[in-house]
Amino acid sequence: MATVGQFKGTTVCGAAVLGAVLMHAPVQAQTVDPRIEKLVSSVSEARLQTLLQKLSSFKTRNTCSDPNAPDSIGAARQWIYDELKRTSPKLQVSFDTHQVQSIRGCQGTIELRNVMAVLPGKSPRRIYVSGHYDSLNLGSGGQQTSNAGATGAQGATGARGAQGAQTRPGAEPQAPGEPPAPNQQRPARDPNVVAPGANDDGSGTVLSMELARVFAESGIDFDATLVFMTVAGEEQGLVGAGAHAKKAKDEKTPIQAWFNNDIVGGSHGGDGSIDGATIRIYSEGPEDSPSRSLAQFAARIGAIYVPNHRVRLMARRDRFSRGGDHSALNAQGFAAIGFRESRENYAKQHGANDTIDGVDFTYLAQNARVNAAGMATLALAPPPPVVTNERGAPSIDRRTSGYDAHLRWQASPGAAGYRIFWRNAWAPDWEHELTVGAVTEYTFPKMNIDDWVFGVAAIDAAGHESSISAYVTPPRAATEGGH
Ligand SMILES: [Zn+2]
């Protein structure tokens, strides 16, 4: 296994201050696993194209369209189901069905069906990848016109729409010049008009379907259970993801991480810019939240396995006045991140012209590989260490001296060791790291815990590293008993 250096070792932040124990500690960076390299390289551009050709050929996948029409959402979701089913006998394919009332723009009760393929692992903890298969046609102008009138009312987006109320939905914008009116019923659009949704979000849908094949055929025995999800009802307010997330929370399903991909296939921006070499990841804060940690992890692992494709981390939930399914997971307390292409073409979103010619399959495949690298590493590594006590307070103290940094964590199943990270308390990203053995506490002499941020990751014997759990004071709302 080759070793890839990602961080400075122990030499930087004053070894004299830290003491001799640090100077002699071994520092091994994240290792490269040839099996993951193989898995990542097996993502097929050609299959992504074949899948999207079929998916975008249905007349519409609008949530409110007639499910019994031969070429609409009912037929499309059945095709996704059948395609996943024939992909591999290792995949457990099912409809995740929810009856939802009062979806704006729809008549009566709507049966939403997320389509999911589960690849069972040794442990029940789950890692998801998703795209939403429903599509939308707003009529003339599409998203381009709507963005021009956007007020940036991001606070109104997100998973509150998941309850199916008439909340302003995550993805659907208001018309130009229209004031924000969260509770105002707008005239219904015809849900049965043509809406190919090739990029939004056929791209994320076929990415998830292709990764189902790649992981199932990899022959790797993953520790985590992997779930490949194509989600319904996103355009009406993250309804399908919200219903799944709520159920998962109620049933205490251990969702460790969720990689949401929404509009990830275009390399040509509407302003003439071109970028086929980067992808954005959005994540809900505050800093060091589980979602931010997951985003950093995805960027770090992506750089190792897909070095010619750069992740651009965005320290915000999503774009202005836009939303995505990862926010519905965040709303139920799960770590989830949103992948977005770097250069959007708003004129080709939410209209009849969101066609397959707007998708760059070389680019989409690279984005799939970044997802695959992060998911595979996360699924092989031990779960991230728990660094809080029963009340949610960080397990960090100053020892009896009052001036040392004393870190404790709960042992992660399967961990052969741990890696401690730290940085200046104003720095955005980790600066230093130290690998320690199979211990569950560590002391840095004469380091003031008020001046540094500490985090710890779990590592298995083969070197797979988990995401980093940081020692942070819980957000005030949580401290005061919920929100
Ligand atoms: Zn979308």
Ligand 1 mean position, distance from CA 261 (Å): 9
Nearest CA-CA partner of 48 in 402, 330, 365, 433: 365
> What's the pLDDT at 188?
55
Nearest CA-CA partner of 152 in 291, 318, 284: 318
- In a structure prediction context, what are the per-residue pLDDT tens digits for the chain, which is 483 residues long? 444 444 434 333 333 334 334 433 333 456 799 999 999 999 999 999 999 999 999 999 999 999 999 999 999 999 999 999 999 999 999 999 999 998 888 889 999 999 999 999 999 999 999 999 999 998 866 677 667 764 443 333 444 333 333 333 444 443 333 333 343 344 457 899 999 999 999 999 999 999 999 999 999 999 999 999 999 999 999 999 999 999 999 999 999 999 999 999 999 999 999 999 999 999 999 999 999 999 999 999 999 999 999 999 999 999 999 999 999 999 999 999 999 999 999 999 999 999 999 999 999 999 999 999 999 999 999 999 999 999 999 999 999 999 999 999 999 999 999 999 999 999 999 999 999 999 999 999 999 999 999 999 999 999 999 999 999 987 776 554 444
Ligand 1 mean position, distance from CA 349 (Å): 8
Cα→Cα distances 99→83, 162, 243, 268, 273, Å: 24, 12, 10, 38, 42
> What's the pLDDT at 139?
82
Compute the distance between CA of residue 220 and CA of residue 198 in angstroms, rounded to an integer.
31
Which SS3 state, helix, strand or coil, does residue 44 take?
A: coil
Ligand 1 mean position, distance from CA 252 (Å): 27
> What's the pLDDT at 285?
95
Nearest CA-CA partner of 239 in 321, 326, 328: 328
Ligand 1 mean position, distance from CA 281 (Å): 14
Ligand 1 mean position, distance from CA 201 (Å): 5
Ligand 1 mean position, distance from CA 264 (Å): 10
> What's the pLDDT at 104?
80
Ligand 1 mean position, distance from CA 335 (Å): 19
Q: What stretches of 175-239 adopt beta strand conformation (E)?
A: 225-231
Ligand 1 mean position, distance from CA 262 (Å): 5
Indicate the pTM of the whole model. Answer: 0.87
- φ, ψ of residue 171 in degrees (nearest 5): -100, -20
Q: Is 450 exposed, middle or buried (0-12, 13-18, 19+ CB in 10 A)?
A: exposed
Ligand 1 mean position, distance from CA 386 (Å): 33
Ligand 1 mean position, distance from CA 316 (Å): 17
Ligand 1 mean position, distance from CA 459 (Å): 35
> What's the pLDDT at 474?
78
Compute the distance between CA of residue 398 and CA of residue 415 in angstroms, rounded to an integer.
26
> What's the pLDDT at 4?
43
> What's the pLDDT at 404?
98
Length reported for the chain? 483
> What's the pLDDT at 2?
41
Ligand 1 mean position, distance from CA 350 (Å): 8
